[in-house]
Amino acid sequence: MSIRKLSILAASGVAAAAITAGASAQEPVSLTIVSWGGAYTQSQVRAYHEPYMELNPHVTINNDDGSANALAGLRAQSQAGNVTWDLVDMLPSDAQLACDEGIIMPIDHDEMLAAAPDGTPASEDFLPGSLGECFIPQIVYSTVLTFNTELFPEDAQPDSIEALFDVENYPGRRALQDRPGTNLEWALYADGVAPEDIYDVLATPEGQDRAFAKLDTIKEHIVFWTEGAQAPQLLADGEVVMATGYNGRMFDAAEVEGQPFAIIWDGQVVEWDGWVVPADGPNLDVVMDYLYFATDTQRLADQAKFISYGPARASSADLVGEHADLGIDMNEHMPTNPDNYFSPIILDNDFWTDYGDELRERFANWMLQ
């Protein structure tokens, strides 16, 4: 309770600062915030946008669902000299690329972001390894294998990544994403490589052959998906018996829509997702004020009330409570919950930076054969 009070105090402090900043701050401002759409954008609207607009009535926030092609958009806007996006939600690998190209702003995390309620500076409060030069993490999400419980006998439900590659015991089609990331990791993991060794093995030609050979074993049983929303749809339609997908969307389909889905946390591939600020955006002052508010401890914990992604701040973990509409405890649905976090594969962005071009080609070739 005291923490909550404190953060309300902090929030009103921000509001007060915005008011005292002078009359110019009160002129109507409209922010365009780019994110991933669907249940994910909704969680941001309810946890960040609505409370912020309540504190700052002169600000309106427009949502743009352009994150899937955010890097292409940022480049195009920067080249055209007409930046219309104020804030963009993107993956750290793309953020690093954009940062290297200078089209998004470098972030001084301690200077620009709120400290934890106990005074821990932001750079220490965010989970280790999550902060980027231009990147402010919001959540930890994971890509998980999910199956339709109705399509397997009760005594033979899949329980590990090995099931994905075991078409004898678990017959039926599988939905995988149409890109190498996560699929190659799982192929090696199911082939007996320990999570911490996966990227070392995958960096060798033999390891790559091994991963593709493993994928070959299930090739004729695969349906590929491209957009995040397709995976739960294919699973709900019965087109496939199991699908890989983002844990938040699978949670939404299972708990909110009541689909008979079960998530296999074994071998979950964990990654960050967060904000970047386009350089030369039109409303930088307001954006920085919004960011200070939307990335504080309480706001990050609030987002977990609406979707099952883990907050990126250590201090938010204790504040994660129940789902705002369903009233179920969100902790057990978090990728970072110790019960789920027993064999995680941490997505290695450095690896994909170096080998992504080559492996994407090989994967495209493999899909076509």
Partner 1 sequence: MAQADAGTEDLTRDASGQMVTADGVPLKQSLKRAERRRKLVAFGLVTPLLLFLLVVFIFPIGQMMWRSVDNPQVVNALPLTLEALEDWDGQGLPDEEVYAALASDFRTDMERARRDQFSGPLGVRLNYELSGARGAVARTVRNVPDFEAPYKEAFLDSHRLWGDVALWKVIEREGRPLTTAYYVAAMDREFDADGNIVMRDENRQIYINLYMRTLALSVAITVLTILLGFPIAYYMSILPMRYSNLLMIFVLLPFWTSLLVRTTAWIVLLQQQGVINESLVALGIIGDDGRFSLMYNMWGTIIAMTHILLPFMVLPLYSVMRTIPPSYVRAAKSLGATPFTAFRKVYLPQTLPGIGAGAVLVFIISIGYYITPALVGGQSGRMISNEIARHMQQSLNWGLAAALGTILLIGVLVLYWVYNRLVGAQNLKLG
- For partner 1, the binding residues (CB under 8 A) are 68-69, 71-72, 75, 78, 97, 100-103, 106, 178-179, 212, 222-224, 226, 237-239, 279, 350, 353-358, 360-362, 364-368
Q: Which is nearer to partner 1, 187 or 312 (CB)?
A: 187
Residues, the chain: 369
Closer CB to partner 1, 212 or 309, in the complex = 212
**Residues 315 and 7 sit within 8 Å (Cβ to Cβ):** no
Min separation Cβ 237 and partner 1, Å: 6
Q: Smallest distance, Å, CB 72 to partner 1?
A: 5
The nearest distance, CB 365 to partner 1, in angstroms, is: 5
Q: Please identify, using beta-carbon distances, which residue of 285 and 350 lies nearer to partner 1.
A: 350
Work out how close the CB of 45 gets to partner 1 at its nearest, in angstroms, rounded to a whole number: 25
Write out the two tokens for 19: 């008011």
| CB neighbourhood size of 205 (10 A) | 7
DSSP 3-state assignment of 206? helix
Distance between CA atoms of residues 31 and 45, nearest Å: 13
The answer to whether 135 and 99 are in contact (CB under 8 A) is yes
Rounded to whole angstroms, the Cα distance separating 90 from 67 reads 6
Minimum gap (Å) between residue 214 Cβ and partner 1: 15
Specify the DSSP element, H or E, that contains 360: helix 349-368
Closest CA to 164 of 195, 134, 199, 189: 189
Q: Which is nearer to partner 1, 178 or 255 (CB)?
A: 178
CB closer to partner 1 out of 220 and 339 = 220
Minimum distance between the CB of residue 367 and partner 1, rounded to whole angstroms?
4
The answer to whether 228 and 146 have CB atoms below 8 angstroms apart is no
Nearer to partner 1, 55 or 218 (CB): 218
Contact 124, 313 (CB under 8 A): no
The Cα–Cα gap between 102 and 96 comes to 10
